[in-house]
Amino acid sequence: MLIVSMILSLCHVVAGEIALSFDDAPTQGNSFMSGMDKTRGIIEGLKSNNVKDAIFFVTTGNIVDDKGKERIEAYTQAGFHLANHSHNHLSANKVDVKKYLADFNQSHLVLQDYKNVLKLHRFPYLHYGSTTDVRKKLEKHLNGMGYKFGYVTVDNFDWYINGRLLSAHHSKKVIDFNKLRQLYVETIWQSIHFYEQLAKSHIGKPVKHILLLHENELAALFIGDLVSHIRSQGWKIISPIEAYKDEALNVYTPEFSFNKQGRVAAIAHQKKGIAKTKLRHESENAKFLDKKLEENGIFK
């Protein structure tokens, strides 16, 4: 692996490019890790690996006290960017347009108190609205406020593994952190590879990816390991600002009906008619991950 990455760096060949994004900040602390430790862990993991920029999609309703505020400010002080992930994490597929947009407006106002905010909105659950008409109305309002969509290209189930970690902690199981790290890094890397192959097949070229992660305990523990692994494969970590400029991906229209696996999958479905079942990596599945956790004896 080392030799491969050395050859790639000597030839200045970049195997792929990806920006990092973290959703739901600031997520609640718990007996496993306080909220502030989570933030510190993520910042330390990124800075010590020389990641210059990343984007945190803030769910502003999660900012319940001064500590929450401090955590969000810590990300901007470290040079990272913020963007909008709603106030109450509503699903645009489940609530009406008026309610969704009132919630969006509220988060827009809260974020005005912070620095380094990019006018990008990421739909919770990647739910863009269940009909073309709804998606049109949402787009019109968001664009009217100067926002673009904070799309992702690489989906994964980091949130599910994280949930299993927290429940293992609560039930006082022994946690094999080395194996947990391996599972986290491997499954996310496989998802990156999967969506890169989809881009090559259905968009016809590599794209500037945006990895969906969550501001969770796993990221606080292992983001540095994930960054090292991505780079060891010859990939470059790029800024979200640069990633969001990729013209091949900025082709969304409200006719796009399948958005919850990310933008590459959305394009493959909409423009090439690829079946939804082919646009999801096998690790985006609770049973698959339960089996991996079991086989590797990660929680005992």
Q: State the nearest-atom distance from the C-beta of 25 to Zn ion, in Å.
A: 9
Q: Enter the tokens of residue 80.
A: 């990272």
Contact range with Zn ion by CB under 5 A, out of 9-17, 21-29, 170-178, 187-195:
21-29
- Among residue numbers 123 through 162, which ones bind Zn ion (CB under 5 A)? 124
Q: State the nearest-atom distance from the C-beta of 253 to Zn ion, in Å.
A: 23
Q: What is the DSSP string of 201-257?
A: HHTSS--EEEEEEESSHHHHHHHHHHHHHHHHTTEEE--HHHHTT-TTT----TT--
When the beta carbons of 56 and 299 are compared against Zn ion, the nearer one is 56
Contact range with Zn ion by CB under 5 A, out of 20-28, 174-182, 194-202, 262-270:
20-28
81-84 and 235-237 beta bridge pairing: unpaired
Q: Enter the tokens of residue 259.
A: 């958005």
**Tokens 């040079």 sit on residue:** 79
- Among residue numbers 66 through 125, which ones bind Zn ion (CB under 5 A)? 124
The reply to whether 23 sits near Zn ion by the rule CB under 5 A is yes
When the beta carbons of 24 and 246 are compared against Zn ion, the nearer one is 24
Q: Are 27 and 163 in contact, with CB atoms under 8 Å apart? A: no
Q: State the nearest-atom distance from the C-beta of 298 to Zn ion, in Å.
A: 25
Q: Enter the tokens of residue 156.
A: 């994964």
When the beta carbons of 56 and 195 are compared against Zn ion, the nearer one is 56
Q: How many residues bind Zn ion (CB under 5 A)?
A: 3
Q: Are 48 and 224 in contact, with CB atoms under 8 Å apart? A: yes
**Binding interface with Zn ion (CB under 5 A):** 23-24, 124
